[in-house]
Chain A
Amino acid sequence: MASHGGQPSFLERLDRMDRRWIFLAMFVAVAAPILWVGVTGKTFPEAPTPAVQGAFDAVDSLPPGARVLVSMDFDPASAGELQPMATAIVRHCVLRGHRICAMTLWPAGGPMIDGTMQDVLGDRPDWKYGEQWVNLGYRAGFEGLMKGIEGIADFDLLVSVSAGYAGAKEWVQYSVSPTLTGPRPLRFVAGSTGVQTPQLIPYYPNQMAGILGAIKGAAEYEFLVNEAVRKADPNAVVPAKFQEAQRRMAPQLFGHVLMVALIVLGNVVFVGLRGREARA
């Protein structure tokens, strides 16, 4: 509906705006902070939430040498969110001296394990394959495979970094819940994408000791691990590769602010045009 003289008003032009301008705004909102953080190295401080603290405590409270099953149930599509989580958790286990058994329920998850272990153990020649850690690789068959893992109940902690099906929910259903009423409940910690986090929240804290939700959860966990390293050695320098999630919180901030602004702007346009229609 055009206003005076057939020329569209500002609100109308805004309403009909080519969505590629929005795409450009999102690109700038994400790319610019990445460049800024990459050049300056600055990150925002993190304050851990109870769910992430619970996950950290679950790993930290185990005695050195504890057996931890880490299931990296994701593929490259979700690696942006979940890789920093997997790295932080595995690093924490290594720092605590836990024995790690890595596996994945996703066919394309094998290289995720290799990449994570290489990142964490690259400068740890003292960590021997077969002694401190093993890689079971991809286990097909989805739910059924849990039964194929010999002695899963013997693990002290189960960790699943999960992007969807099969993942954390299936681990809770098939491996964790059956042990809860037994003599040795299996402790479980999950990391999940933002999309999956609301679906897993009800399992916390009764069936799950902690949950890392989205890149924010990964950043909080990284912060906790790095703080623990600095507490043990005030002169320790944390390698930049272990601050990946914290670096990604800068584009998150601007992206989220843009989203809020777009929603507000869209509603201002909507209300303005509706008011004009009512007056006409």
Chain B
Amino acid sequence: MSQFQAGSPVDPAVARRAQRLWIAVLAVIAALLVVRAWVGTEVGSGPSAQVVHGYGMVYVEQKGAMHVQVPASAWAEAVAADPAQRQVTVSWPRTAGVWIAALMTLAVLSFLWRDNPVYKLAESVVVGVSAGYVMSTAVWSSLVDQVFGKLAPGLTKEWLSPGLTVTETDWWALVPLLLGMLLLCRLSAKLSWVGMFPLAFVVGVFSGWRFVQYVESDLLAQVATMFDPLWVPGPTAAATVGGTLCAVLVLVGVLSVLAYFFFSLEHKGPVGGAARVGIWYLMITFGASFGLTVMGRIALFAARCEFLFDDWLWLIDPAGKH
């Protein structure tokens, strides 16, 4: 059989057709973006209204040392009042940011068609940026004030954190530093055994915390609710019947699901019957969880669509941002 069987995916003719199709699709998208820019958007209202031939732009107003984002209408009003004003201007770094964010969003969505280098690039970027962000934040918010600030308060206050309130050295701050250094030993094959001790400390602390809190909050408090009155009087007969029925159903449900999860007794007879009822309750619980999960996922995608149509393409403006 020929390596390049006509019509197969590795057939060069198919690959060339696919490439031409992709170029055509990208050309159409680029053309639409150009047309969008040419059509323009009216910003501002009344006498200050003007058409901006562009989109995805971010306007800022200088307030002291900071630049605060303002709607495009604010820029239109400022320019109408004084064409030479420099108080409200286009922020090119933020505008470039919006475009990069939009292209990255499309790059990630391209995975829905097929895995591709553009998606992989976006994925690599987010892994690096996320790790760097979390590390920077952790260093400044925890290490600088909690460790360096306590071990060398004078130096830290002078060079890094002028708002530091600690004035005297607290040598106990060496403990977390030591714990952390020992944890870093996990990276070395020879010294990884040293990392056992801080790990054991962390596990011990966590399990002790959780022991008390889970027993108090999730065991005792939840069991206590099962002793709430089953008779729930309401303003009307229907409310009383409904409330009471719901309370009974909750109690029955909790007991039957607990019976289902209790595997030390064979699920036969009354226990088996209770376990079967428990399964029905669990099916309803999982069905509701599924419905809520779907709701969450769709909301996330809706937010991304809003970004593309509102912040980038300026096709809609529900919040009056431009």
Contact A38 B318 (CB under 8 A): yes
Contact B299 A173 (CB under 8 A): no
Binds A, one of B26-34, B91-99, B157-165, B212-220: B212-220
In the assembled complex, which residues on chain A have CB atoms less than 8 Å from the CB atom of B306? 34, 38, 248
In the assembled complex, which residues on chain B have CB atoms less than 8 Å from the CB atom of A259? 294
Evaluate whether A38 and B317 lie within 8 angstroms (CB atoms) in the complex, with A81-B300, A140-B141, A174-B213 already known: yes
In the assembled complex, which residues on chain A have CB atoms less than 8 Å from the CB atom of B85? none
Evaluate whether A198 and B300 lie within 8 angstroms (CB atoms) in the complex, with A38-B310, A144-B209, A216-B295 already known: no
Query: How far, in whole Å, are A178 and B249 apart by their CA atoms in the complex?
Result: 28
Instruction: Determine whether B12 belongs to the interface, using a CB cutoff of 8 Å to chain A.
Output: no
In the assembled complex, which residues on chain B have CB atoms less than 8 Å from the CB atom of A243? 318
Sorting the interface of chain A by its residue count into under 10, 10 to 19, 20 to 34 or 35 or more gives 35 or more
In the assembled complex, which residues on chain B have CB atoms less than 8 Å from the CB atom of A118? 68
Contact B295 A39 (CB under 8 A): no
Instruction: Determine whether A215 belongs to the interface, using a CB cutoff of 8 Å to chain B.
Output: yes
Q: Per-position contact with A for B111-154: 1 when CB-CB < 8 Å, else 0?
A: 01100000000000000001001100110011000000000000
Cβ of A129 to closest chain B Cβ, rounded Å? 13
Instruction: Determine whether B192 belongs to the interface, using a CB cutoff of 8 Å to chain A.
Output: no
- Please, which residue of chain A has its CB at the minimum distance from the CB of B294? A259
Instruction: Determine whether B24 belongs to the interface, using a CB cutoff of 8 Å to chain A.
Output: no
Contact A252 B298 (CB under 8 A): yes
Contact A41 B225 (CB under 8 A): no
In the assembled complex, which residues on chain B have CB atoms less than 8 Å from the CB atom of A213? 292
Contact A107 B295 (CB under 8 A): no
Evaluate whether A251 and B296 lie within 8 angstroms (CB atoms) in the complex, with A39-B316, A108-B134 already known: no
Q: How many residues of B contact A (CB 8 A)?
A: 49
In the assembled complex, which residues on chain B have CB atoms less than 8 Å from the CB atom of A108? 130, 133-134, 137
Contact B292 A194 (CB under 8 A): yes
Instruction: Determine whether A134 belongs to the interface, using a CB cutoff of 8 Å to chain B.
Output: no
Query: How far, in whole Å, are A193 and B300 apart by their CA atoms in the complex?
Result: 10
- Please, which residue of chain A has its CB at the minimum distance from the CB of B304? A80
In the assembled complex, which residues on chain A have CB atoms less than 8 Å from the CB atom of B303? 79-81, 83, 248
Contact A255 B294 (CB under 8 A): yes
Cβ of A10 to closest chain B Cβ, rounded Å? 24
Instruction: Determine whether B288 belongs to the interface, using a CB cutoff of 8 Å to chain A.
Output: yes
Contact A80 B319 (CB under 8 A): no
Instruction: Determine whether B301 belongs to the interface, using a CB cutoff of 8 Å to chain A.
Output: yes
Query: How far, in whole Å, are A180 and B130 apart by their CA atoms in the complex?
Result: 38
Among A177, A206, A248, the residue within 8 A (CB) of B213 is A177
Evaluate whether A173 and B214 lie within 8 angstroms (CB atoms) in the complex, with A30-B305, A248-B302 already known: yes
Instruction: Determine whether B221 belongs to the interface, using a CB cutoff of 8 Å to chain A.
Output: yes
Majority secondary structure, A binding face: helix
Which residues, 253 to 268 on A, are CB-close (under 8 Å) to B?
Answer: 255-256, 259
Contact B293 A34 (CB under 8 A): no
Query: How far, in whole Å, are A39 and B317 apart by their CA atoms in the complex?
Result: 8
Instruction: Determine whether B309 belongs to the interface, using a CB cutoff of 8 Å to chain A.
Output: yes
Contact B214 A137 (CB under 8 A): no
Q: Per-position contact with A for B201-218: 1 when CB-CB < 8 Å, else 0?
A: 000011001100110111
Cβ of B41 to closest chain A Cβ, rounded Å? 13
Contact A37 B318 (CB under 8 A): yes
Contact B137 A110 (CB under 8 A): yes
Contact A215 B299 (CB under 8 A): yes
Instruction: Determine whether B285 belongs to the interface, using a CB cutoff of 8 Å to chain A.
Output: yes
Instruction: Determine whether A197 belongs to the interface, using a CB cutoff of 8 Å to chain B.
Output: yes
Q: Per-position contact with B for A192-232: 1 when CB-CB < 8 Å, else 0?
A: 01110110001000110000011110000000000000000
- Please, which residue of chain B has its CB at the minimum distance from the CB of A83? B303
Contact B302 A206 (CB under 8 A): no
Instruction: Determine whether B19 belongs to the interface, using a CB cutoff of 8 Å to chain A.
Output: no
Q: Per-position contact with A for B278-301: 1 when CB-CB < 8 Å, else 0?
A: 000000010011001111111111
A-B contact pairs, 26 of them (CB 8 A): A30-B298, A38-B316, A80-B300, A80-B302, A81-B303, A83-B303, A108-B130, A108-B133, A140-B138, A140-B141, A173-B216, A194-B296, A194-B299, A195-B293, A198-B288, A198-B289, A202-B222, A206-B224, A207-B221, A214-B295, A214-B299, A240-B319, A251-B301, A251-B305, A255-B298, A259-B294
A-B contact sample (4 more), CB < 8 A, given A79-B303, A251-B298: A80-B300, A143-B210, A177-B221, A206-B225
Q: B: which residues have CB within 8 A of A? A: 68, 112-113, 130, 133-134, 137-138, 141-142, 205-206, 209-210, 213-214, 216-218, 221-222, 224-225, 285, 288-289, 292-306, 309-310, 315-320
